[in-house]
Structure 1
Amino acid sequence: MHLIKRIAAITLTLGLSAGLVGCGFHLKGTNPAIAPIAYNKLQLAMPNNSNTQDLEKKLGMYLTAAGVQMSNSSDAYVLRVLDYTPRRLELNGRLVETLLRLTVTFQIEDQQGRPVTEPRTLTATRSYQYDVATVNTDDQENRYLSQILVDDLAQQITRQLSSNRLPKLPVAQTTPAQSQ
């Protein structure tokens, strides 16, 4: 009787495992082979805003964890952040609602500075409310949520890069012989 229970448990475990593998389930890890071969070595190029330091730090951390080697060498592709736009909107009333929005546009460039991918724009949004009659925690909440927005966008960029979801620029349709 004990042998039958053991065989049933093994059969059930193998059946469930086969079902998970069959439906495409896999554990998420930090496998260096996740990033596309072409972008395994990257250099970050940020706009000249003083606000982009946090994004640069987070991108470096998440890209390194995804298996991308951060390098300043001449053979590295460049992840260029074209636009970094934080916005803050306030709706005043009895309660003040603050809407924070961060938009980042980026593209991948080759070693000569030519774009390889189309520019991609990502946006993250958070909001919070506070009563002006009570103790004002607006600055603390604003700083905290701004960090959350930067972290969220750095993760989105890393996921899109490591899953190769960036659309490539179309190759010119004419050949050198046709253009003469």
Structure 2
Amino acid sequence: MHLVQRVAAIVLTLGLSAGLVGCGFHLKGTNPQATPLVYTKLNLQLPKNTEDLESKLSVYLTASGVQLGQASDAYVLRILDYKPIRHELNGQLIETLLRLSVTFQIEDQQGNPVTEARTLTAARSYQYDVATVNTDDQQEKYLKQVIIDDIAQQISRQISANRLPKAKYLPSTATPKTAQ
């Protein structure tokens, strides 16, 4: 009886493994070479009061193989817009919706856009009863950190996977050809 159960377990395990491989499943690695060559050196340019996002971006970008610093040959990851929004819906229970929108693009050393501007949004909500112990501040502080972390991960993944559309601009040195 034990032999039959062991054989059944082995066959089931092998069958499930083959099914996962067959459908294209693979574990996400942390290969430092996953970042496109053009973005291996970045300089972060963020607005004031965004230190939390800057520290999270530093962690995630460095983990994906990006060298951060002020190198002369580094591209610039510029945060163009940073909008935290807080909506509060009052009723018997108070529901608070926190939303963060961040617009960013990558620029070359001269400030010319290399990628199109991309806007990412993350949102979380929570409810609390004002008649009970007020944990609103603690929940809000925690969820703000979760939202910032989410945005930083999204930016890092898009840069690492090179999923940013290239900018559509003409260099100033290009001149149109005239028909002869």
Identify whether the pair has TM-score above 0.5, normalized to the shorter chain: yes
TM-score by length of 2: 0.85
CA shift at 1:18, angstroms? 6.1
Aligned partners of 2:110 and 2:150: how far apart in 1?
Answer: 30
* Corresponding position of 1:44: 44
CA shift at 1:26, angstroms? 2.4
Q: Counterpart amino acid of 1:178? A: K
* Superimposed CA distance per residue, residues 16-75 of structure 1 (whole angstroms, 9 cap, x where no aligned partner): 766544543322111011111110111110012x2x000000000001111111121010
Aligned partners of 1:26 and 1:70: how far apart in 2?
Answer: 29
CA shift at 1:176, angstroms? 2.8
* Corresponding position of 1:124: 122
- What's the % identity of the aligned pairs? 65
Aligned partners of 2:87 and 2:176: how far apart in 1?
Answer: 55
What secondary structure sits across from 1:64 in the alignment? helix
Tell whether 2:100 aligns with 1:99. Answer: no
* Corresponding position of 1:68: 66
Q: Counterpart amino acid of 1:26? A: H
Q: Counterpart amino acid of 1:102? A: L
Task: Give the number of equivalent residue pairs.
Answer: 171
Unaligned runs of 5+ in 1: none
Aligned partners of 1:156 and 1:91: how far apart in 2?
Answer: 28
Aligned partners of 1:145 and 1:177: how far apart in 2?
Answer: 52
Task: Please give the root-mean-square deviation of Cα atoms over the aligned residues, in Å.
Answer: 2.6
Q: Counterpart amino acid of 1:115? A: P
CA shift at 1:126, angstroms? 0.5
Q: Counterpart amino acid of 2:128? A: Y
